[in-house]
Amino acid sequence: MSLTPAYDAENIFAKIIRGEIPSVKLYETDDILAFMDVFPQSDGHCLVIHKRATATDLFDIDREMLASLMAGVQKIAGGVKDGLKPDGIRIVQFNGAPAGQTVFHLHFHIIPVYEGRALGAHAGGTPAEASALEELADKIRSALLKA
């Protein structure tokens, strides 16, 4: 497999953008969508994607789109920091299946880290309950409104 495969418009994130698959949204503009990860590694784990970019990874995106995506990542990470008060935050992005990428639509993970709590496995385990995701999302959304 190539590090940068051809973009598949039927990937799960493209379907979320088009509204074909539900998600617990945190923030949305014409360019950016942030939503809760349904297989969270930690309470408050969320994802940020560019809605118009058909980039599979970091090497496949226009620099202007990347700049707007990173501004979105910074904004959402701030909402996670202020809304959930974690002890730390990991911001992660995978490039290629051997590196752990499972969805080939460029995305950034924002993973709150809490002292004394181990992170769950990446892209594994049992899906979170929608009500639990909504409760965490409400705290993040509230913090974003105050920012």
Q: Tell me the catalytic residues.
A: 107
Please state, as a whole number, how many other Cβ atoms lie within 10 Å of the Cβ of residue 59: 11
Per the CB < 8 A criterion, the answer to whether 31 and 66 are in contact is no
Q: How many whole angstroms separate alpha carbon 44 and alpha carbon 35?
A: 10
Q: Give the HSE-up count for residue 127: Cα atoms under 13 Å, Cβ half-sphere.
A: 7
**Beta-ladder partners of 112:** 89
